[in-house]
Structure 1
């Protein structure tokens, strides 16, 4: 019976604890004048010796475990197996990561020094057009996620539904608008860009993905000096190009010059916001962004369009006013 009780105790004791128990029992017996251990003590001592020599053994499943260590508390993981808890945990982690990322950039932007007062004036912005040859190879991969998250594919589609007849697209880049020109409405597409590297990607994309669409030709050419006579195209398009032009007023005037009277000038651009706190952030980061991407994203797009003498027919603003959808016409040809 005593041995049975001892075995029950052993199940909850490590070898170190059992050794301590033996020592304590011996001390008590010596104080009582006893010099021999009783049977239960001998059994306990044998078990302690046995377990002390064995550092590991295998259980019924073949897995190794250490007999000298006391078993730890069991952890109930059943809550994690519930899909709703997994979703909540993943959502919480996502919110934490986004908040941390946003907080870092907000701190970085608003701790930056104040920019010069003329930082948004193109006349005081250094041209960065050479950047596009450098970033052309990875351009689509680099901006693809941003465009998806901002829904710019639908914004491109919305502005280009107005394109018809013979179409000139300036600053066509890597041809991100190819998919949105309708063969039923567009008879000819001419694309220009100052970067030969960007146009090489556009041409490769056209041959592999859009060769059965609208007849297309590409030219390396500056938007500030288009090599066509006046009134040559029914529609002139520019998407996210005004930010990169060394002289945006001259480029817009050239677009108006080659557009037929009553024709359309379609602009999808990014620039200054409706909110001054966003404009402050754009101004503080404008130089670094232009050096990396060739884009001055803090320009007053509507102001530039009006200064160039275009008649604005339709305008929409998105993303706190930083994305511009503009349908315009050459000055003096606005429909009554």
Structure 2
């Protein structure tokens, strides 16, 4: 049986080539050719996707991409999907696709990849990353693993994948957990257990979620300004295990009372404990209605809140995050 893969190419620096003063952009078909010989028994359909640069991608584009990935597996009969994406916001797009995949994750692997260097750079990293991603997407053993991020021969679970260095080809890491697996030639090796699937997403995600980094002396009016501008939810990037300045407590309580969820993440790596389960003296924002990010980084917490808001307001979001 032939394994059918879909390659969705959003383009970015990794697809650019030098031609005079303005770069040319390689098509999905050209990217596929650059990745090297086809895998035995695998047929890849390359498709160009119109999208903004990764550093300026819109929530609308991210949502459309996630739905395209899901539909390819559920409706179009593909056995796996590879998404070539710019590195700047790849981790957000990959995690949103993971949250929205639902039963599609059980149909075949989904792998996001990209590169930092131009395609005609002597040390271009995108061709190798794409070849590895296609190998991973054709591996039946990765079915059910959810969305993976592939770079420098490593596979990272979308929930943990983080852009750790924008200058080198070793772009992504998974923090203390380490990579989920690795690609060695034409083989995939798992290094740790596949993470559990996230809670189901109901309704359409809410794209208007604000992400605000807290700092000493922060004025609470910044939260109100975000809501006045249309935000339906707020993620606060706090400190430590999930702390925010006490001066924000009254405003956070007001927002929660208006059915606007406030999720507290941390600027540093944390465990998955709820705010209410943290040691005394920490996680105090839980007492005024804030919701803990369950170990998600601030940018991932924003994506998760977008998804959770599809099911309703504060109560629905609180229940959804409790099951992460």
Which of the five TM-score ranges fits, normalised by the shorter chain? Answer: under 0.3
Higher helix share: 1
Q: Could you say which structure has the larger radius of gyration?
A: 1
